[in-house]
Chain A
């Protein structure tokens, strides 16, 4: 289980990085950030990039800042950065709530938020969160930078809208209004494992009713996404066990569950009911 050989590049600037990537991408050159997903699949030789462009030395990409009402997360910001709220208010708390479920502490010390988004594992917690928050993904190449909406970004199992020569340089998450309620629940077999199903929810509570509810399901389908049917079941309703159960049932009906050796579709659908309802309950 040793990776196949590759050429290593350690650019010091983004400009240098995208220039190298433009050259090596056609020969399966890839970006190396935290490496916590890429290196294992290289060890199994399921990925065998001929070049790795290591962006860890690019200081500008370690940026974590609030700009124009958005939290801007640079490509080299590690998972561990979110263990304590990075911004005041619900968003910082939600990030801190979710990050505890991502693998284990040594993985969080190294793995990056943006790397998770670029890798797009169906069961990535950050991907579900970005979907729930309608985050924006900034992709940079020698051709310039473009912003991709979360709804357009995830394309399938480990498939995204990123072009092969693009570096995912930043993810932007909208700050949440102070009265936003957030919830997260995931089901996995062991602590730290990828979830079989998860839900990220948030809504504002205005005069006792749910306003702008968002329900994103992860782990259950090829990629995480918001489930409109579930959101509709919540909108303008007061939170109640019945309303939550209805939204959860709708979410479960709406998903097309992935199946694998240990998880059949019916079971996964049942899990979607459970995680959705529990995430909603947690949000209260």
Chain B
């Protein structure tokens, strides 16, 4: 079933150059903030983390709106129907109470951004500050101030799961390994900050909202709903979007305000988030504590796993995934790729006076993979076996496999992929080098992570979370126009993933045309069928599957029509090179001509075929698990605490590679963000809830100097769980990298007896740990 990498026979499998690129390299891409506007918005934001709003007074002559003006605009109230979820409300501009530094209080309008900013800083804001809660543990402590009155103990979600046999298995276990890990808060930091531009169309009498989003259709739904207007009165366009990484799948309150303003003022209104706003008040992620305990048998096999997850979700819940998204993801996937039958987990989401949490590439899985992979390394040390060995004993080998939490792992290659990575890393050679280096006072380390990730999942997976808004399926409308050009209109909304190119390859193979003949349209609610968007490593799997289904329908019709006109049996018709051919004969007809006939000469088919060549298909798959093994080689400068990455290696099984070049790019970028998570990036609040990392001199995305060469190896397990046999690959790089790196750091520091269990593992944290270990020894 699985093997190395297939040799392509059609367009699929080729590293085709991206259709998206020529415009972007010429600077003729179109991003939201490129559009001119009559009025620019500047948001006045809360300078304090918690307090009661007493007064907001505009400077003379300024045009300002506050919550009072937006009384008719509904609150954002994301909902989940399970796990003791407590729905909380967010007004798009704060009314009465502020709950985090940066929360929008008022919108100032002016003809230029400069003037809007001048006026905004002259707005007089009086807030009666109250005490703020920043840390998740502090928030659940008795007597902590409540961020929202209805969420008792500041707990927004309290999910618990335990297998029936857990207590017995746990009690019987002979070996226990326990650790606490901490993941600090991060920002997805798309290079294009968020932006919205809403214009009143006086002819159609509706709003056209351009915005930087990953979910244009859902944005239309929710913004229309909050404003109280018909969805037909709002057209949402996601033009070129300069990166999202999850941050742009959640509803920005600011977008609602911008749309409302354009509708109220009958003009064009725009807002471009500046970097400071993005750093303090967009969405954050990954602020978690995990307490993990593994129970092992004598053969180092994990027999039971217990986890306690505390996720700091900030001051409000994100829409649509709610304030439960990190906690529930952690609970569902904590056991990772390991065969463990008994599992118990408590996963809580905790409200604090900080910027709201939202999905960020990997959603919890970089953190839980870090947790379980640290556990595996600690257990390996306890058993005196090496890192690959303990994993080999525990990885799932037989598929399909149903996990303790009920997930079904489809065909994959957990062991084989790990073995490939270990082989490529040449462990014995590294150990020799490491030993030699230690003699010279240099500390090299190697670390690995093995993981699987659910990708391309449809409605059942989201429904299991009890989400009020249950995403999952995608629809593709695919047509060939009378000139023979193929157009696929998709509800998904790529923003840098090259999906137009990849889909054109799938469609071209099916229809026997070249990919240049295929246009993929996305990101416009007027031109595309309803769909969910691009997030959760799903678009290639789901929109790709739907494209394949739609293309097959069109293909069937083309073949039928060709058979009719060429007087042959349909099974003898072959499509290829833009021509329908009767196999073994010289009878043929251009697909262009067939298309023409489908519209303009329908009489020739005598009613056998309906006019036209457009078909629609929807795909709602169960989900498919990609798997990978990451290996990091590092050197730790024990004097300064700096971690240098010598080499990073990924062996990945993402099923069939539709466009290998694009797949590699996704992994590269994911790993870079994982490296950032592991070593560099951290949002820091002070005790009062003020944010100390409001510039890119304080919040540290890595540069080309910090990201080492990344070596990639692929396997292609062809799964039945995905129509195209492709698995999702958008998030894997980010998921596996922190664990591999921190395991490598710990391997390097093994002689000192420290355990680094916090990310980012900054130089200071490493020095603090080394110093503490030295003091303990002395």
What residues of chain A have their CB less than 8 Å away from a CB belonging to chain B? 1-2, 4-5, 44-45, 187, 189-194, 261-264, 266-267, 270-271, 273-274
Contact = CB atoms under 8 A, between A and B. Distances in A.
B703 A190 contact: yes
Nearest to B642: A187
B275 A189 contact: no
Interface string B698-739: 101011111000000000000000000000000000000000
Given A192-B705, A261-B692, 15 more contacts: A1-B117, A1-B275, A44-B276, A189-B763, A190-B705, A191-B704, A192-B703, A194-B697, A262-B684, A262-B698, A262-B762, A262-B764, A264-B768, A267-B641, A267-B767
Given A192-B703, A261-B684, A270-B767, A1 B639 contact: no
21 contacts: A1-B117, A1-B276, A2-B113, A4-B118, A187-B640, A189-B680, A190-B703, A190-B706, A191-B704, A191-B705, A191-B706, A261-B692, A262-B698, A264-B768, A266-B771, A267-B767, A267-B768, A270-B767, A270-B771, A271-B640, A274-B639
Contacts of B703: 190-192
A187 B771 CA distance: 18
Given A261-B692, A267-B767, A270-B639, A2 B700 contact: no
Nearest to B764: A267
Contacts of B577: none
B231 interface: no
Interface in B642-660: 642
Interface in B573-597: none
Ranked nearest first, the 3 interchain pairs of A and B with the lowest CB-CB distance are: A191-B705, A261-B692, A1-B274
B416 interface: no
B126 interface: no
B121 interface: yes
A44 B695 contact: yes
Q: Is the interface of B mostly helix, strand, loop or mixed?
A: loop
Contacts of B639: 270, 273-274
A4 B117 CA distance: 8
A190 B642 CA distance: 10
Contacts of A193: 697, 700
B96 interface: no
B21 interface: no
B642 A45 contact: no
B700 A189 contact: yes
B203 to A, nearest CB: 34
A267 B771 CA distance: 10
A149 to B, nearest CB: 30
A45 B121 contact: yes
Contacts of A194: 697
Contacts of B642: 187
Contacts of A190: 680, 700, 702-703, 705-706
A4 B704 CA distance: 34
Contacts of B705: 190-192
B128 interface: no
B771 to A, nearest CB: 7
Interface in B382-399: none
A2 B118 CA distance: 9
A273 B641 CA distance: 13
Interface in B58-107: none
A266 B769 CA distance: 13
B516 interface: no
A194 B705 CA distance: 15
Contacts of A187: 640, 642, 763
A261 B640 contact: no
B114 interface: yes
Contacts of B640: 187, 270-271, 274
A261 B693 contact: yes
Contacts of B275: 1
Contacts of A192: 703, 705
A45 B121 CA distance: 10
B686 A261 contact: yes
Interface in B631-645: 639-642
A44 B694 CA distance: 10
A267 B762 CA distance: 11
Interface string B4-43: 0000000000000000000000000000000000000000
Contacts of B697: 193-194
Nearest to A192: B703
Contacts of B695: 44
Contact of B764 (A1, A2, A263): A263
Contacts of A45: 117, 121
A270 B705 CA distance: 24
B778 to A, nearest CB: 16
A25 to B, nearest CB: 23
B162 to A, nearest CB: 40
A247 to B, nearest CB: 15
Contacts of B680: 189-190
A12 to B, nearest CB: 28
B418 to A, nearest CB: 32
B119 to A, nearest CB: 12
B487 to A, nearest CB: 41
Interface in B664-705: 680, 682, 684, 686, 692-693, 695, 697-698, 700, 702-705
Contacts of B682: 262
A2 B706 CA distance: 30
A38 B114 CA distance: 18
A208 to B, nearest CB: 26
A266 B642 CA distance: 16
Contacts of A274: 639-640
Nearest to A267: B764
A175 B702 CA distance: 38
A264 B762 CA distance: 12
B526 to A, nearest CB: 33
Contacts of A44: 276, 695
Contacts of A266: 771
A267 to B, nearest CB: 5
Contacts of A271: 640
B698 A261 contact: yes
Contacts of A4: 118
Contacts of B771: 266, 270
Contacts of A262: 682, 684, 698, 762, 764
A2 B115 CA distance: 9
Contacts of B641: 267
A2 B641 CA distance: 38
Interface in B192-237: none
A104 to B, nearest CB: 8
Nearest to B641: A267
A1 B695 CA distance: 11
A267 B767 CA distance: 7
Q: Which of A2, A5, A194, A273 has the most CB of B within 10 A?
A: A2
A141 B276 CA distance: 37
A8 to B, nearest CB: 14
